[in-house]
Structure 1
Amino acid sequence: MKQSITVDNTEKQGKMIEGVKALLSKLKIKPPKFDFGTVLKKLIVPIVSILVFIGIWHVGADALRQREIDFRVEKAVADQGQAAADELRACFALNESNCQTNTLPSPSQVWASLQTLIADHYVIKQDKLDFATKTAAVNEKRVAAGQEPIVYTGRPSFIDIVLTSLKTVFAGFLLALFIAVPIGIVIGLSDTLRNAINWFIQVFKPVSPVVWYLLVFMIVKTLLIGTSSDNSFVISFISVGLCAMWATLVNTAMGVSSVDKDFINVAKVLKLRPLQKVFKVILPSSLPLIFTGLRITLSVAWMVLIAIELLAQSPGLGLFVWEEFQNGANDSNSKIIVAMFIIGIIGFLLDRIMLIIQNAVSFNKNATA
């Protein structure tokens, strides 16, 4: 009985497969072929390179750790004697908390720190919810009386820190967009203006983020003098925007000035007003170069953000890295490496997003850089 059921199921499966093949042949759809070369290039090789990187990192971190241990043991022999040195070496062998090296952490230590930071996020998130519950009634009365509500002032979690940095970089990016694109259009339309402003661009484009921060700090602290609000976010995003806007400014001016003259002549024939000419002819033709500039601007904004957050004491990734460096705890180095990877991954994703947008508006759809 069981054999006959198995035979029937096998026959049904065979008929179903033949039916699918017949349908595909009628629709002229060929079944996808397994291309091992593509899988090797796109999947296996990147995975192998990641494993090789982790292996080199592990070996290098272990060698650096051993070098520091040997140095400290030799120093203990010279200062305290062989017995103290043997005790110190045993302490390092057991990996006790009071015997930790201050060097490059291993991949496993960085992974453990990442898990710790994520666990801390959920603890802090629950603390915020508990605080909001406890102060809900009091805050309701304060708001009704026209007073400021009591806010949570505890330390932010690592996720909050990352979100703060993203908020700052996007605010700076939008500032750069609103400053650079209109100015780029104006100077791109006029050779006289472009020659008049070129010196300004060439002088201020290479200025360091630290100098931009100091300049913005001088201006903002004077404009907001007498206020009790925290100005670190305002100073940070303005500094980021001013540092990063130059690529968009130059590319916009270049795109506008290089618009095909035939398009300009058509606009004259159609008797388009100046704004119509800009929005219907010049901007569409300049979009590929403008978005190339915006892509560079976003990358530069994310790169300079870390230094500016450190200087402005804004609670983002820059300040997090500096505080961990100053902290000197057993896992501080590991947390710094975690932040380094997060900064790199987010920077890569932001660049990919801008590349997708650039390709969407570009005449060249094959840009992959």
Structure 2
Amino acid sequence: MSDKNTENVVRRLSRVRERLHAGMDRREFVRTLASAGYAVGMAHFLGVDDFLETDDGDVPVVTALVRERDDDPFSLEKRTRTVPAEWYAAVEKAFEVNDLLAKSKVMGYLGSAVVPGDYRSGTASVTIGLTGDASFVGDVLGTVADDIGLDIERFDDGDDDGFETIEEFRNGRDGVTRQPRLARDGRTGTAPGGVTCETDSSMATLGPAMYDPESKSEYFVTAEHAFDAEDAVVGEALTLPTESEESFDLGTVSVDHPVADLVAVEPSGELEPINQIDTSPPSSVRGQFTRWGLADLLARGEPLEKVGAMTGHTTGEIQGIDAVTCFTDDFCRHGQIRWGGEMDLIDGDSGSVSYHPDPENPEEGILIAGFNNARTWWPGQSYVWGISAYQVTNSLGYHF
């Protein structure tokens, strides 16, 4: 099919999609497709292929990838739940608006995030960070953003009410002097997430085991920026200090992912990665949330948690999902989570993961939401940001 024909098909499908309003029953849905000259099978291309399989007013979404067997990290199965069709349509539209903004490449755009409303409201909004004139938002979106709330955040000026320095938070306002959380003992043969790991130049937090389903490999994982290397950090060593003052060799960096800000560390064999977070009792990782799983958590007002090497265990509200962050470097980071506040992450906490108890089996373990990379330092903002677990899987192929 030629590019021109493809554009025409996409345009026609978009018009049909606009007619598939929330609350439409199956019979009306089929009539709408037929009147536009499409078979029911075209529902797949409209992104509503599950519409016909549900009760009127509900749509099934995949919320998580969860282990079928606890002893097999590669036995992931999709978990679904039904959500209100009106809410689904609003959030799906917000995802599209956010994607359009990210692709706009307009000067002044610093990032954006989708904020689903609760299920009862059936709404969603997009938070947009920018400098300068906000008129470009209307130019880029046109009428595409109808019925989607737009929350414009300007960063031209303003006072920063946050901490002036990391040291001020670490040793100052809250009156607590923090010490690194060290693994108790490396002689167990494993190293859990949530404890201190060290590079040649700094310290970070070790994440739980990360898996590559293609090679059936398992890795240690931490933040890429913990390695102070001018070039790629492949081959750099990672170690595990312990409370006994004995250090263990975790391994060397096998693959460097600077945009995602994480590294896959191949175990040396002295210790093995484990799908646990160092809590009391230990929290077992059973899988990870999808994009719709994060939307579901936000809609239900559920928080995220993390265990960092410096700040330990903290809990915070989700502020935005599917976020784009362009505040740093000369590129944008996609598929991010915004959650918690600036007090939830300080130097040494990078490399930790955000998580939530498994909604269906909270006593059996947790599901990973994302990977914590940094906290805000710009005026008027207060959250932790990092790459979502689903984005790690979609863009890099790994899973937790």
What TM-score do you get using the length of structure 2 for normalisation?
A: 0.23
Higher strand share: 2
By relative contact order (CA 8 Å, sep 6+), the higher-ranking structure is 1
Per the normalisation by structure 1, the TM-score is 0.24
Task: Identify the structure with the greater helix proportion.
Answer: 1
Higher Cα radius of gyration: 1
